[in-house]
Amino acid sequence: MSTLTTIDSRTFRHTRTAVRVSGLQLLALSFQTLGIIYSDIGTSPLYVLNGIWPASGGMPSEEDIIGGISAIIWALTLLPLLKYIIISLCFGTKEGEGGTFALYLGIYPPREVDFDDERTLTGFSHDDTFLSSASRTIKEKMRWPLLLWSLFATALTMSDGVLTPAVSVTSAVSGIAIAKPSVLKDIVGISIIFLLALFFVQQFGTSRLAFLFAPISSIWFLLLMGTGIYNITFYPAIFRAFDPSRAVLLFVRTKDYDLLAGVLLAITGCEAVFANLGQFNAPSIRLSFCGFVYPTLVLAYLGQGARLIVDKEKILPHIFYNSIPGPTGGALYWIMFVFAVLATLVASQALITAAFSLVQQLINSRCFPPLRMHFTSETIQGQVYIPAVNWTLMIATIVLVAAFSDLDRLTDAYGFAVATVMIATSLMLALQMKYVKKWSVAVGLVFLLIFGFIDGLFWGASVKKVPHGAWVPLMMGCILTAIMVHWTWARGLEDTFEGKKRMNLRYFIGQSSRTPSINFSDGEDSIDVDPQPYCFMKLGGPDSEKHRIDSQSLQVETELQRIPTCAVFHKTTSGRGVPHSFVGFIRQWPALPRVVIFLSVCLAPCPRVPPQERYAVTKVRTVDGFYGVTYYVGFRDKFDVQIDNLIEKICEVEILTNPGLSRSVLDEIRSVSKTTTHLVPHHFVVSKRVDVGLLSPIVNYVRRVLIESLYRRMATMFPETANWLNAADEIIHVGVHAVI
């Protein structure tokens, strides 16, 4: 096989990398983070103190208030600041992605595709994914349990994307009822209108929304800081809350463990900080949080605590709005109200974009059905918009707001998902320290003991809320996890089937005893074809594990006729050799196109690829008219295989391979390409029977339902080509009977 290509494919060999900016660009990116990442944690002052001390629970003492504010400050310091901003952001993937699933990919990185090897059609794929049980290490044995754990945490983060808009927007809108009690019954309807607007604007992309939302968030944080500083002047002794012993004494004195569930509300959104790493980068997130967000939140909570100590029952019913300086219904009150509503809409953005980022990771790792993705940035590949996810979140959020019309019931449902994901993150970080960073086991254990203990305290308080509303994110998380685990398992079986069925082209298509004679009339479309130049052979029983060919099993089934057409076989899985769809096609239509192209798609880590550099072509020397092609497409490029441009690249390779090639052969190749057919594989999956003893009937029945009744339909609804095959001149879906 000739390995001559028309471009240096190493240009696009590297994968996506983390965003690297400095100077003014870093400041601009840090400014954008305010409008995407931090508004969730930044709107927590709207409801945290009432989550700890609801109006119906009675007035807390001065020492209890100081202890509660201390617990909030140290929760913000230990978890968002120390665990996530300082530590977790060091553990993103090579592609710059964050979140629990990214930590799993760091431990078990996917195999990088060698596209030079992809274009090799006269060889077999070597799959070392499945090791024998004797050679499997402890790390390999943990693969499936950790995958299940990371998928569950990812599902809970996505379910948090439903709860965050519901809680934040409803909390802000409820402020209008304080100044205008007559609209109390309209809060749900007003909240739904705001939510509809929020999800509608998602299609404009993260970058545009960031520049729109960042000024709103900046003003909101400045208002929090200003009111916090003003309120602190009423009771400067509130600074005693910086003493962590005040927080400890609060729980010793009250013996009320449930207070931690309210404190947890102050750190909701910290997981979104890590999950949105792929949308930005670690330096920009650290700069904005440490320099602006963290001090602002601390001052806001100190100010609320000071006013609660001074004004007591007067502001307890709604601490945030009642602690705004000036009269209720005054100018500052309405300014704070307007920006509170706007900030909560922005706050919802943090979890929505996090959901987009997480689903992108899952789709790229073949752990989620392939959904249509739109890349919205010219510079950052991680900024995506996924319509199906957006509208699903919108419907679920509106249903939740309508069902949980009481704000207290919504806050009960809030927090459980966050606490569970924090535990998952701590465990995965400890494993990363051992297996990725290669640090001492003691370092990982110390980290897990410290932060696992803190996370466990919050989780224990939040799990008690399950009967009161926290069952909602738990249910959504379990459903999403079941879908992802089922897809990962079934898709893995299908890919394994395809890998084992790949064939060496030379053993499948062979020259007949006579030399083929194909004559093309110059300037004419008519072609005279030698009726039987090639042999179609069948591999009776190759040993696919050792890749050996038993020469006795080769049997000539029929002889193939070359026809004057061009066929493009799209390869949807990686590996050497020809895909099984080509074998199935030849068996159904025993004719061989004059030009056969096996096309692999490489999503390059750049927004656009110049047209002259989009195709890398390798010619098969042993079988005339066969080519392996890699199509490089930028993440902002429209998928569009220009067959004329591709054929010109093929002609260049023909000239490089055979400088004495006659012009008539090149004209022949160009002529047959006028009739091009695109062929895409479609596996008709069937469950194979497994023998597990007495349980075989039950296992086989469940297996058949999962594969044939569920996965087969899902694979039809969400084809592998959803993100790159928009339209072609003519598409044929080649059916392959796959027993998996």
* Percent over 90 (pLDDT), the chain: 32
2-6, 321-325, 349-353, 463-467: the lowest-pLDDT one: 2-6
C-beta separation of 264 from 423 below 8 A: no
105 domain residue, yes or no: yes
pLDDT of 172 > 50? The answer is yes
C-beta separation of 119 from 598 below 8 A: yes
378, 412, 446 — which closes off a domain?
A: 412
**pLDDT on residue 629:** 93
Q: Pick 380 or 621 by higher pLDDT.
A: 621
Distance CA 375, CA 362 (A): 16
Q: Do 244 and 389 belong to one domain?
A: yes
Q: Pick 494 or 378 by higher pLDDT.
A: 494
C-alpha 158: how far from chain center: 10
Q: Domain containing 317 — which CATH number?
A: 1.20.1740
C-beta separation of 635 from 664 below 8 A: no
485 domain residue, yes or no: no
Confidence tier at 123 by pLDDT (50, 70, 90): low
Q: Do 551 and 696 belong to one domain?
A: yes
449 domain residue, yes or no: no
pLDDT of 677 > 90? The answer is no
How far CA 645 is from CA of 615, 670, 673, in Å, comes to: 9, 10, 11
476 domain residue, yes or no: no
Q: Do 194 and 337 belong to one domain?
A: yes
Q: For 683, which DSSP code?
A: E
Specify which of 65-69, 202-206, 464-468, 472-476 reaches the highest per-range mean pLDDT.
65-69
* Residue-averaged pLDDT of the chain: 81
Q: Do 508 and 625 belong to one domain?
A: yes
Q: Pick 548 or 324 by higher pLDDT.
A: 324
Distance CA 441, CA 297 (A): 35
4 domain residue, yes or no: no
Q: Do 374 and 233 belong to one domain?
A: yes
* 456-492: pLDDT as tens digits: 999 998 888 888 778 888 899 999 999 999 999 999 9
C-alpha 348: how far from chain center: 18
Confidence tier at 291 by pLDDT (50, 70, 90): very high
* Over residues 115-121, mean pLDDT: 79
Which token pair is 465?
């809320």
Its domain, for residue 355, covers 17-109+139-412
Specify which of 1-15, 132-146, 190-204 reaches the highest per-range mean pLDDT.
190-204
375, 391, 412 — which closes off a domain?
A: 412
Q: Do 203 and 321 belong to one domain?
A: yes
Distance CA 362, CA 103 (A): 12
**pLDDT on residue 36:** 77
Which token pair is 405?
């019309």
Q: Do 514 and 402 belong to one domain?
A: no
**pLDDT on residue 544:** 35
Sign of CA dihedral 702, 708, 709, 715: positive
CB-based contacts of 89: which residues, under 8 Å, 6+ apart?
A: 98, 274, 277, 282, 285, 286
Residues β-bridged to residue 599: 570, 629
Q: Do 397 and 533 belong to one domain?
A: no
461 domain residue, yes or no: no
Q: Do 511 and 373 belong to one domain?
A: no
433-442, 557-566, 644-653: the lowest-pLDDT one: 557-566
CB-based contacts of 470: which residues, under 8 Å, 6+ apart?
A: 412, 413, 415, 416, 462, 463
438 domain residue, yes or no: no
pLDDT of 88 > 60? The answer is yes
Sign of CA dihedral 90, 91, 95, 97: negative
Confidence tier at 236 by pLDDT (50, 70, 90): very high
384, 412, 440 — which closes off a domain?
A: 412
Closest CA to 593 of 560, 566, 631: 566
- CB atoms near residue 364 (< 10 Å): 18
397 domain residue, yes or no: yes
Confidence tier at 534 by pLDDT (50, 70, 90): low
Which token pair is 627?
């080519």
pLDDT of 117 > 70? The answer is yes
H helices, E strands: number in the chain: 29, 12
pLDDT of 427 > 60? The answer is yes
Distance CA 39, CA 238 (A): 25
* Over residues 313-339, mean pLDDT: 88
Confidence tier at 527 by pLDDT (50, 70, 90): very low
pLDDT of 130 > 50? The answer is no
Confidence tier at 410 by pLDDT (50, 70, 90): low
43-57, 201-215, 689-703: the lowest-pLDDT one: 201-215
C-beta separation of 421 from 477 below 8 A: no
* Over residues 315-342, mean pLDDT: 87
pLDDT of 237 > 90? The answer is yes
CB-based contacts of 495: which residues, under 8 Å, 6+ apart?
A: 366, 573
Total structural domains within the chain: 2
pLDDT of 401 > 80? The answer is yes
Confidence tier at 129 by pLDDT (50, 70, 90): very low
